[in-house]
Amino acid sequence: MRQAGRIIAKTMREVSEAMEAGKHSLLNLDSMAEKIILAEGGIPSFKGYKGFPATACIAVNDGVVHGIPTDYIIQKGDIVTLDFGVIWQGWHADSAWTFAVGEIAQNAQRLMNVTKESLYQGIGKAKAGNKVGDISFAVQNYVERNGYSIVRDLVGHGIGQNLHEEPSVPNFGKARKGVPLRAGMTFCIEPMVNEGTYRVKTLSDGWTVVTADGKLSAHYEHTVVVTSDGPLILTSEED
């Protein structure tokens, strides 16, 4: 899983560095991601999963998650979420990150900042002896204190030899509730934060989820393992 995570981090870095306004379509970014993952010896875990047609889920502006890449060309001021899954020797990792395309509006930057920090607030509670609800409460509390809303229809998840495993890891809930955390557990923490209502809708393609009110959304995700010394992020290029 650590190696799968490293491949994701490398892919995330290289694709995001290529995201120049007016230059690449979402399909280009998807193709780029697939080439990097395969070159590194990984397998794209999203492609073909329940019929999903692409390597990457890519969401733009009011996109929340599960966006099917299209021929849309990214523009200055967009915020774009890249979401990749990789299999390495039978083990999965999964990560998402929201990026700015050029200079973006102040409200978009603040949304991104708060969402990213909420991820780390949640990761900080991924300790043996805590419960899933401690992660959930930390994320929700930080997001709502900053005036945003947490998507309720989609949650984080366990991960390992399958892309989605137990336990579910909601981004909302009560502290000290839910599944106890033990050393060795691996799961994805992934706040999806909306500028307006928490409500979402799925487009006619059957996959792409967008905000119900058309306002912005941001999404950050890491694969994490609980250790006796606290949480360890697996989806980074560094140890």
Over the stretch 13-51, which tens digit does the pLDDT of each residue have? 999 999 999 999 999 999 999 999 999 999 999 999 999
**Above 90 in pLDDT, residue 90?**
yes
Q: Which residues contact 141 (CB under 8 A, 6 or more apart)?
A: 121
The percent of residues above 90 in pLDDT, for the chain, comes to 98
Please state, in angstroms and rounded to a whole number, the distance separating the CA atoms of residues 133 and 45: 28
114-169 confidence digits (pLDDT tens) = 999 999 999 999 999 999 999 999 999 999 999 999 999 999 999 999 999 999 99
pLDDT category of residue 238 using cuts at 50, 70 and 90: confident
Q: 237: pLDDT confidence band, cut at 50, 70 and 90?
A: confident
The domain spans of the chain are 2-233
Looking at residue 5, the DSSP 8-state letter turns out to be H
Q: Do 211 and 64 touch, CB atoms closer than 8 A?
A: yes
Cα distances (angstroms) measured from residue 209 to each of 41, 77, 200: 30, 20, 7
- Taking the C-alpha atoms of residue 125 and residue 179, their distance in angstroms, rounded to an integer, is 13
pLDDT at 52 over 70: yes
Query: Which CATH class, in words, describes the domain spanning 2-233?
Result: alpha beta
- Say which amino acid occupies 76: K
Q: In whole numbers, what is the pLDDT of the chain averaged over residues?
A: 97
Q: What is the pLDDT of residue 228?
A: 86
* Orientation of helix 106-123 relative to helix 132-145, angle to 10°: 160
Burial annotation 29-47 (CB, 10 A radius, 16+ → b, else e): bbbbbbebbeebebbbbbe
pTM for the structure as a whole: 0.98
Check pLDDT > 70 for residue 239.
no
Calpha distance 68→118 (Å, rounded) = 26
Q: At what angle do helices 26-39 and 2-17 cross, to 10 degrees?
A: 140
For the segment 55-65, what is each residue's pLDDT rounded down to a tens digit?
999 999 999 99
Rounded to 5 degrees, φ, ψ at 5 are -65, -40
**Cα–Cα dist 136/86, whole Å:** 25
Measured CA to CA, the distance from residue 191 to residue 235 in angstroms comes to 16
Q: How far apart are the first and last CA of the chain?
A: 13
